Amino acid sequence: MRVRLLKTDGCANAAETEPLVREVLAALAPAAELEIVTVTSASQLEALRFAGSPTILVDGVDLEPDAPLSSGFG
């Protein structure tokens, strides 16, 4: 399982979200590793389908239910 936390620099929500994601992974998927990705460019926004900070992807799928319908990134 690949879990990524996409964020921007200085995002207070990402700072609060990271320990929660780590706690859930420890309980439900202890072998999974969390990759933190700081999005810094417009090209990354579209390549990562970054809807906003923070975004959590599990095996490339955004946990936000409406994310697959979104066409706006950033």
CATH number, domain 2-69: 3.40.30
> What mean pLDDT is reported for the chain?
86
Confidence band (pLDDT; 50, 70, 90) for 66?
Answer: low
Confidence band (pLDDT; 50, 70, 90) for 68?
Answer: low
Q: Of 52, 24, 57, 26, give the one whose Cα is nearest residue 39.
A: 52
Query: What span, in angstroms and rounded, lies between the C-alpha atoms of 57 and 63?
Result: 6
Give residue limits of the domains in the chain.
2-69
- List CB contacts of 62: < 8 A, sequence separation 6 or more: 49, 51, 55, 56, 68
Confidence band (pLDDT; 50, 70, 90) for 71?
Answer: low
